[in-house]
Amino acid sequence: MIRYFTAGESHGEALVGIVEGCPAGVPVSPDQINHQLARRWLGYGRGGRSKFERDQIHIFSGIRFGATMGSPVALRLDNAAFHKDKAAWPEVMAVEGTGEGVDRVTQPRPGHADLVGVQKYRFDDIRPVIERSSARETAMRVACCTVARCLLERLGIRIDSHVIELGGVGYKSAGELRAARDRASREAGGRGISETADENLVRMLDAQLGDDVIERIKQAKSDGDTLGGRYEVVISGVPSGLGSYVQWDRKLDAALAHAIISIQAQKAVEIGDGVDGAALPGSQVHDEIVPGLSRSSNRAGGIEGGVSNGMPIIIRGFMKPIPTLIKPLGSVDLKTGEAMATRYERSDVTSVPAASVVAEAVVAVPLANAVLEKFGGDSLEELLERFPVGGASAGS
């Protein structure tokens, strides 16, 4: 099974990651990882940091002559902010010394991990919480998960995503969304819908909607506010039979939902038309079975009973607005116990487009593990001998 760990602070020297359990013989290159890292910076609404971070992966181990060796893959990403920012990060984040002379952060931001973090770890300074809870960590997650994604690609499994709503602007119904996705898939030809989404400033498939969203972001920026939103991940080429209904921790939908909700600032996950479906009668929700044992619809989002059914997997993530706002929010100074509004800090207005790219990456690990659990194999070659050729069906 593939496991990965990340380490690193947002304004520390670097992020590092270890990916363990990937079969041998999977082609992986720094370019593939860098491509995903560059995609993670896409999207209108990012702040000052996006102007200078240029994420370039350094691979230390686990890959030889362009392919995995079955041994742990070790990765490093330098934080340009460590040296480039005006802030004295090498002093603020120093490994040695007492921290004397370094300002403490004492005004917790509502909605952030700030307050619960200082209470939990008994800090008198929010800085350590800010640093590790930051979404900067998702850069290393994308890098780690791209290794699993490279494995899935070799099996013909592809993962796409697009933003479907941002700041309340988006598709009005499941039908409208489905029509936009189907149109984009047709027009994409051999490419996936992600390539089309990547060409839009907010990763939306519908250019007009994208323009409306940009206006909404501009408005939020001038209001000193932030925005959340929704995106969907579409996984195609998935064979039926991944996951299981027999035990809670073997359900594929649960594993995918865990991966999505673990991304910073995500507050909800939907599989297929789960949210709309909860308000409809069963006769309008379930995908009828037609001769050939296929389906004419995919409202279940490719998973029934925690098991993939061969249709594309559709999973949506819901992101809250970023809790670092220019507009002050009510808080309390931890030094004095007095009410005090939050102070301004550099931030993004929104990072929903980035979250959609991170979501594509993180689902790759539970999915690859479901594949490895069912088909096994210590090498890609062995896995390919066992994996059903053409076992997956198309359609949405």
DSSP character at residue 368: H
DSSP character at residue 392: B
DSSP 241-283: T-S-SSSGGG-HHHHHHHHHHTSTTEEEEEETTHHHHTTS-GG
**Smallest separation (angstroms) from ligand EPS to the CB of 83:** 13
What span, in angstroms and rounded, lies between the C-alpha atoms of 7 and 14? 9
The residue written with tokens 């005090």 in the block is 340
Q: Which of residues 67-96 bind ligand EPS (CB under 6 A)?
A: 81
User: For the chain, how big is the Rg over CA atoms in Å?
Assistant: 22
Q: Which of residues 248-277 bind ligand EPS (CB under 6 A)?
A: none
Closest CB to ligand EPS among 194 and 264? Answer: 264
The residue written with tokens 């300074």 in the block is 125
Sheet strands (E) in the chain: 3-7, 14-20, 58-61, 63-64, 67-68, 73-78, 158-166, 169-170, 229-236, 266-271, 289-290, 294-295, 303-304, 307-308, 313-319, 330-332, 339-341
Does residue 135 touch ligand EPS according to CB under 6 A? yes
212's enclosing H/E stretch is helix 207-222
Q: Which of 51, 120, 346, 386 binds ligand EPS (CB under 6 A)?
A: 346
Please return the burial class of 222, using the count of CB atoms within 10 Å of its CB with bins 0-12, 13-18 and 19+.
Answer: exposed
**Smallest separation (angstroms) from ligand EPS to the CB of 13:** 14
Q: Which of residues 284-343 bind ligand EPS (CB under 6 A)?
A: 324
Residues 19/142, Cβ–Cβ less than 8 Å: no
Closest CB to ligand EPS among 64 and 346? Answer: 346
**Closest to 139 in 3D by CA, of 211, 66, 57, 70:** 57
Q: Which of 56, 134, 244, 396 binds ligand EPS (CB under 6 A)?
A: 134
Does residue 28 touch ligand EPS according to CB under 6 A? no
**Smallest separation (angstroms) from ligand EPS to the CB of 119:** 19
**Smallest separation (angstroms) from ligand EPS to the CB of 161:** 16
From the list 48-56, 100-108, 177-185, 311-319, the region that binds ligand EPS by CB under 6 A is 48-56
Does residue 47 touch ligand EPS according to CB under 6 A? yes
**Smallest separation (angstroms) from ligand EPS to the CB of 46:** 7
Q: Which of residues 168-187 bind ligand EPS (CB under 6 A)?
A: none
From the list 42-50, 155-163, 233-241, 281-289, the region that binds ligand EPS by CB under 6 A is 42-50
Does residue 115 touch ligand EPS according to CB under 6 A? no
Q: Which of 39, 127, 136, 221 binds ligand EPS (CB under 6 A)?
A: 136
Which SS3 state, helix, strand or coil, does residue 25 take? coil
Closest CB to ligand EPS among 196 and 324? Answer: 324
Does residue 129 touch ligand EPS according to CB under 6 A? no
Chain positions contacting ligand EPS, by CB under 6 A: 10, 47-49, 53, 81, 134-136, 138-139, 324, 346-348
